[in-house]
Amino acid sequence: MGNVVPFPGGEDRHLVVGQQALAAKDYASAAAHLDKAYAEQPTFETARLLVQALDGLQAANDALPYIGRHIESFLKTTADQQLMIDTLVAVPDYRSAWAITHYFEQAMQQQAQTQIAAAETKDLQRHADVIDDLRKRVAHLGGLAFHEQEALLSELGRLPKSVALQAIPPLLVDVDVHAAIRVSLLDALTAFSTDQPVDFRSYIGVKSVVPDALTGVMNDQTITQMVQQASTLITDADEREATLEMLRLELGFLYPFVAESIPDQTAFVEGFVHHEHGVDPELEDWLENQIAALINQA
């Protein structure tokens, strides 16, 4: 009798079998085993293998949550950056693909952007009717309820950059598009990258902005500073988390003109944390109306 090869046991079994199946290009088996391995031990190394298996299975959309959970790790090597681009282009989610190239070194950035642009060109040739239908629906965003606007916003990545750069700007000044959605649309232009100025309707009126000159709402320096200030004023951990989340939401409505909208930022934060009133009543009323609109339409 020949030597008995021990079958991997415990938490490593699914990982080993998944790797073997992936090497053999048996993507269905690889995805099934690697999914179980990730559930047992959700490491980046397993997530990377699972993304490869899902891509091979032509289920790139299912790979997105794993990329999202480990985005910082995926950004560390050119091989993993390439895996992300391949996945996002396969979905397709062009908005996210363009956005992550901002974090690449120049050579990899150029390579990735060339790949994305080529994929968009092919997509426009093959699926012009599908893309144009989405463009038309986006153009009428202001006619939808908030929850419908939000749902359609999740499809925005399907638009190639050239189409998105035409479809989005008119919506940035549309009073029927909710303030939070307008901010998200402006963020999308930042992701797609354009140095062409656009008009944007904010709390302080319509102003011209250049998307490439903006940081994005998640990286806005004024919002970050005000949230940090609020954090120092709250001692209870549970209260801190909930309060800071609401503060980020309210300040997000004011992007990209937070500093201009709130001249006395210290007083605003202190009033917000201590639930005091009378700090710029007009702004306070405006923010309350935006939140009420979200609650009523969601």
pLDDT of residue 241: 92
Q: What is the pLDDT of residue 9?
A: 55
Looking at residue 262, the DSSP 8-state letter turns out to be -
Residues 197, 208: contact at Cβ < 8 Å?
Answer: yes
pLDDT of residue 5: 45
pTM of the model: 0.87
Q: In the prediction, which pLDDT does 275 show?
A: 82
What is the mean pLDDT of each successive set of 10 residues along the chain, which is 298 residues long? 48 89 96 95 96 97 96 97 98 97 96 98 98 96 92 95 97 96 95 94 96 92 96 90 94 96 93 81 90 74
Residue 272: which region, alpha, beta or left (left: phi > 0; alpha: psi -120 to 50)?
A: alpha
Q: Select 10-126's CATH number: 2.40.128, 2.40.50, 1.25.40, 2.60.40.
A: 1.25.40
Distance CA 163, CA 131 (A): 8
Domain boundaries, given as residue ranges, for the chain: 10-126, 128-215, 218-297
Residue 95 and residue 122 in contact, taking contact as beta carbons nearer than 8 Å? no
pLDDT at 110: 97
| Residue partners of 290: CB distance under 8 A and separation at least 6 | 178, 179, 180, 250, 253
pLDDT computed for residue 154 by the predictor: 92
